[in-house]
């Protein structure tokens, strides 16, 4: 596990030094960051409309999430948004994070990763805390890689996120235990923020089917993704939440995961 953490730190440091435009691209055109107030969460509207990509196949765009990346918090990055191994038969593997620091209101959020194919390789989870990147969790979360979308329940691991602290979360497909440098690694940043009172009221007054859309519009990536995945689990034959997840994935620039969903996950759209 120490070797895995060293590999992750080396990769992350390399990305920070060599590709700052990749890690911080969501903040490159905004100017000064705006503080979060209790009255509202300040967000930005994407420069282009990601919904247009799939609007025809998804029907009414008002039913699709519109993710507004927040103009606050520490810039962050995603390490390898969709990583494929060096061997041609290796799957595409990704931690479902945006390219900036994604937000959550939850002390113990549920996070997600995906693989395009099954593989006989275990998957490990590493979580680093704060600027010091202190390791607070290194654990095996799957004995084999399964195709599809998979949850990471932080409640299962006793992890409690502090408000105002940025965490780096990584999933690693262990292809060769003796050579950690060969691991396929994907990760992203997460920060927990306090939930404003007015938003708590909005959640209580919102129909449960629209909760993912409300989270997305407020820029709370991880809670929006979890709400959509929970809806899919609760109603696996309903095509709408699949289409909504496809839309959110595209807005997070997780194109390969969205393409996988379109091909393998979503039932036929409703007439």
Annotate 39-71 with DSSP letters as a single string.
S---B---SS-GGGGTHHHH--GGGS-----BS
- Cα distance between residue 39 and residue 46, in whole Å: 22
Region of 140 (left: φ > 0; alpha: ψ -120 to 50; beta: rest) is: beta
pTM of the shown model? 0.79
For the chain, the average pLDDT equals: 80
Report CA 142 to chain centroid distance, whole Å.
Answer: 18
3-class SS of residue 238: coil
Tell me the C-alpha to C-alpha distance, in Å, between residue 263 and each of 13, 220, 252. Answer: 35, 27, 18
In this structure, are strands 102-104 and 184-192 parallel, antiparallel, or unpaired? Answer: parallel
233-to-103, 151, 238, 242 alpha-carbon distances in Å: 22, 11, 10, 10
Return the residue matching tokens 């979503």: 266
Q: Which residue has the higher pLDDT, 265 or 11?
A: 265
For residues 128 and 5, give the distance between their C-alpha atoms in angstroms, rounded to a whole number. 9
Q: Decide if 114 contacts 131 (C-beta within 8 A).
A: no
Q: At what angle do helices 239-251 and 221-234 cross, to 10 degrees?
A: 160
Residue 77 pLDDT more than 90? Answer: no
Res 248 pLDDT > 80:
yes
**Over the stretch 175-233, which tens digit does the pLDDT of each residue have?**
999 998 889 999 999 999 999 999 999 999 999 999 999 999 999 999 999 999 999 99
Q: Residue 113's closest CA among 168, 150, 153?
A: 150
CA 242 to chain centre: 16
pLDDT tens digits along 26-74 = 333 333 323 333 333 334 434 344 444 444 444 566 899 999 998 765 5
Q: Identify the residue whose tokens are 């709408």.
A: 240
Does residue 114 contact residue 96 with C-beta atoms inside 8 Å?
A: yes
Detail the DSSP E strand segments found in the chain: 83-84, 92-95, 102-104, 110-115, 123-129, 134-142, 148-153, 166-173, 184-192
Instruction: Give tens-digit pLDDT for 151-165.
Output: 999 999 999 999 999
Burial-class residue 241 by CB neighbours within 10 Å (0-12, 13-18, 19+). Answer: buried
Domains of the chain: 2-265 (2.60.40.10)
């Amino acid at each position: 596990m120490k070797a895995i953490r060293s590999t992750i730190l080396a990769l992350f440091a390399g990305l920070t030094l060599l590709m700052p435009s990749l890690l911080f691209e969501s903040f490159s055109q905004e100017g000064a960051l705006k503080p979060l107030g209790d009255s509202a969460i300040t967000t930005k509207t994407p420069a282009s409309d990601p919904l247009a990509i799939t609007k025809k196949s998804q029907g009414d765009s008002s039913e699709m999430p519109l993710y507004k990346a927040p103009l606050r918090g520490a810039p962050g990055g995603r390490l390898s948004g969709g990583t494929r191994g060096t061997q041609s038969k290796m799957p595409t593997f990704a931690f479902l994070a945006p390219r900036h620091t994604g937000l959550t209101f939850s002390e113990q959020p549920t996070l997600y990763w995906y693989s395009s194919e099954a593989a006989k390789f275990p998957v490990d989870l590493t979580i680093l805390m704060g600027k010091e990147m202190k390791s607070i969790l290194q654990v095996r979360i799957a004995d084999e890689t399964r195709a599809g979308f998979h949850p990471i329940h932080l409640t299962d691991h006793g992890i409690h996120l502090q408000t105002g602290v940025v965490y780096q979360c990584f999933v690693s497909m262990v292809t060769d235990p003796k050579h950690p440098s060969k691991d396929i690694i994907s990760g992203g940043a997460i920060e927990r923020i306090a939930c404003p009172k007015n938003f708590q009221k909005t959640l209580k007054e919102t129909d449960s089917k629209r909760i993912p859309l409300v989270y997305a519009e407020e820029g709370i990536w991880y809670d929006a993704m979890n709400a959509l995945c929970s809806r899919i689990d609760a109603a696996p034959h309903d095509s709408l939440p699949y289409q909504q997840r496809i839309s959110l994935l595209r807005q997070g620039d997780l194109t390969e995961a969205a393409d996988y969903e379109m091909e393998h996950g979503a039932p036929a759209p409703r007439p």
